[in-house]
Structure 1
Amino acid sequence: MITDEAIEVYDPPAFQPGEKVRATKYVKNDGTYPLKDIGEVLVKKGDVGYVRDIGTYLQRFYVYAVEFVDRGTIVGMRGRELVSLDKATTETATEESNP
Structure 2
Amino acid sequence: MATNINRDNGVVELVNPPKFEYGQKVRAKKYVRNDGTFPGREVGDIIVSKGDVGYVTSIGTFLQQFYIYGIDFYELGYRVGMRGKELDLIDEEVSIDEAIKVIKEQAHG
TM-score (norm 2): 0.75
Deviations 1:41-91 (A, max 9, x none): 11000000000000000111000000001111200000000000113x79x
**Count of aligned positions:** 89
Structure 1 distance, partners of 2:44, 2:8, is 26
1:45 aligns with 2:50: yes
Cα offset for 1:39? Answer: 1.6
Query: Residue 4 of structure 1 aligns to a residue in which SS?
Result: helix
| CA deviation vs aligned residue, 1:6-35 (integer Å, no higher than 9, x gap) | 210100000011000000010011111111
Please give the secondary structure, in 2, of the residue aligned with 1:45: coil
Q: Which runs of 5+ in 1 are unaligned?
A: 91-99
Secondary structure of 2:14 counterpart: helix
Q: CA 1:3–1:23 in 2, change beyond 3 Å: closer, same or farther?
A: closer
TM-score by length of 1: 0.82
Q: Structure 1 residues 80, 3: closer, same or farther in 2, change over 3 A?
A: closer
Indicate conservation of the 8 Å contact 1:42/1:73, yes or no: no
Identity of aligned pairs, percent?
A: 49
| Counterpart amino acid of residue 81 in structure 1 | E
